[in-house]
Structure 1
């Protein structure tokens, strides 16, 4: 049964319900390392994991890959994927409802603000919500294969990357290109809560940074040529962490300097990253790989999920809106 053929659809989960911790201010984190994370991936894989090694699988009766998930507050989350799939839960994963967003495009990223705004991007489409992801409408006159999206704490602005190496800014319904100089695809982007500092990553170890709210961008030298797939930037913009091919973990740390390590075989990749502002977080990738860190990515330890499917995206269950 294909999810896109039923609208709306309620999917009732038989596994234990999962709760995001309460709190909706991006500038603080309530994570104590015990919340764990939701991860999504290949063949509608959805899994919850925690630092103690407990794993809950969510057997969704749908087809296609899930590409990203964003969690907000104590009970609400949104997952997106192939064939225009947008799933929303209001009860911490007890039930997931499919939203009719009017597209069958592959949806690749989702971002939720601390306010009412939310954003979903994909192949040739940008969707915006102003009612806490209860409904989405397409932004008009949009072209491009959008790969990632991020937004500020208030949700007034959003930025998104494309497979052709562009960065766009969305202000209301106005889309403006703010960077067009990359020769390869860009696949990840992050922003500080107020929107002053941004970082984007892509093919060949490319890292782009803006410290003026996206008006100008500069390339940051890095010691890796591996493709980078996801990135986070710290609250004070003094730390950037990115992950990618061969299990690359790149850290650009104002205090400790630049470092890079490869944690996987060359044929595997880390594809999803979430770090809370207290340094606790996870990465996920090919063949069900999952790692956790308690020190902002300085050290990583493996979590055994018992999965073979690739995991593409995750969000930490710590009460912070997703960047």
Structure 2
């Protein structure tokens, strides 16, 4: 893992975590009900608990896992190449495959606070009305979708595309609501009430809506790096995004805007999770894992000894998301 130490961001390279070798790999049946989960290249799945232990999961699937979404302290859904969808309802002790009727690459998944759930991928959007136990294809999904978000109730969903569009899904009706000519969009997030949302993409692009997605505007940012993932606080006064060169972009109504690059230019952060208490993680290329205790102001690096890129991240959590 190659890291760049930049002030004022605190970056501490920690000792290697206690891990599982080939002889003692285990599931999470003894690991408790909290911690960060990451998925990535070559069906990689790892879990970190708050004490700093790490578990590696030997999954019986092939290809890359692209995203993971969790709910409460027991349920998680991971998606990836070749239409793979995996689900756990026992904090990862067992995983089952869900047949969703496609072989398309699946790139994003979100679970709401009620029963709707959504999966997005290349030329396909899937919707669930039974809390992610089964999914069906949404009509007219004629784009390569890169990310998806939804409200706490799950009534609406919004998706980004590789062609720079934002689409809204209302029930079975899927339609584009915004298009940019500045490049691909790769991440989107919304407040629980659906009033404010933000999407990120190529060249430091950040677009925002504060009227439920009816109108969008570009925001000036202090970075030109490609951005891959984003979170917005429930009060809409903080946006945190990550991307190329390990950039961490913070648009903060209280502390001001900032952008710090934590990795070498050839590496990137690909996914981000932040909880309401400020605890969070970011993961990316070459097995990079960063951890924050203050909503992304300061970061510390965890050396898991991974070589595989990590593309997706979430938390089996009791606390709400940021």
Q: What corresponds to 1:160 in structure 2?
A: 159
Shift of 1:142: 1.2
Q: Render the CA deviation track for 1:175-205: whole Å, top value 9, x for unaligned.
A: 1211012330000000000000000000000
Q: Distance in 1 between matches of 2:173 and 2:28?
A: 42
Contact 1:20 1:319 in 2 (8 A): no
| 2:27 equivalent to 1:15 | yes
Instruction: Give the equivalent residue in structure 1 for 2:233.
Output: 234
Aligned to 1:95, the other structure's residue is in SS state coil
After superposition, where does 1:162-311 map in structure 2 within 5 Å?
Answer: 162-311=161-310
**Residues 20 and 228 (structure 1 numbering): CA distance in 2 closer, same or farther, change over 3 Å?**
farther
SS at match of 2:28: coil
Distance apart, 1:75 and its partner CA = 1.1
Partner of 1:86: 85
Deviations 1:248-305 (A, max 9, x none): 0000000000000000000000001000111110000001000100100000001111
Aligned mates of 1:278, 1:20 — CA distance in 2: 20
2: distance between equivalents of 1:303 and 1:111?
A: 26
Contact 1:113 1:321 in 2 (8 A): no
**Native 8 Å contact 1:20 1:71 kept in 2:** no
Number of the residue aligned with 2:17: none
Deviations 1:45-81 (A, max 9, x none): 0000134321100011221000000011221110000
Contact 1:53–1:304 (8 Å) recurs in 2: no
Match of 1:58 in 2: 57
Q: Deviations over 1:109-139 (max 9, x none)?
A: 0000000000000000000000011100000
SS of the residue 1:43 aligns to: helix
> Is 2:61 aligned against 1:49?
no
Determine the C-alpha separation between the residues in 2 that align with 1:235 and 1:112: 16
CA distance in 1, matches of 2:164, 2:73: 35
Q: Which stretches of structure 1, 4 residues or longer, exceed 6 Å deviation after superposition?
A: none
Contact in 2 for aligned 1:17/1:92 (Cα 8 Å):
yes
Pair 249,37 (structure 1): closer, same or farther in 2 beyond 3 Å: same
Work out the CA distance in 1 between the residues paired with 2:277 and 2:316: 13
TM-score by length of 1: 0.89
Deviation at 1:95, TM superposition (A): 1.1
The secondary structure found in structure 1 opposite 2:273 is: strand
Match of residue 126 from structure 2:
127
Matched positions, count: 298
| 3-state DSSP of counterpart to 2:95 | strand
Any unmatched runs of 5+ in structure 2?
Answer: 1-24
Partner of 2:4: none
Displacement of 1:320 in angstroms is 4.9
Question: Which is worse superposed, 148-157 or 313-322?
Answer: 313-322
Q: What is the distance in 1 between the residues matched to 2:303 and 2:316?
A: 19
Residues 73-112 of structure 1 correspond to what in structure 2 (within 5 A)?
Answer: 73-112=72-111
**Root-mean-square deviation (CA), in Å?**
1.5
Gap regions ≥5 residues in structure 1: 1-12, 22-34
The answer (yes or no) to whether the contact 1:112–1:321 under 8 Å persists in 2 is: no
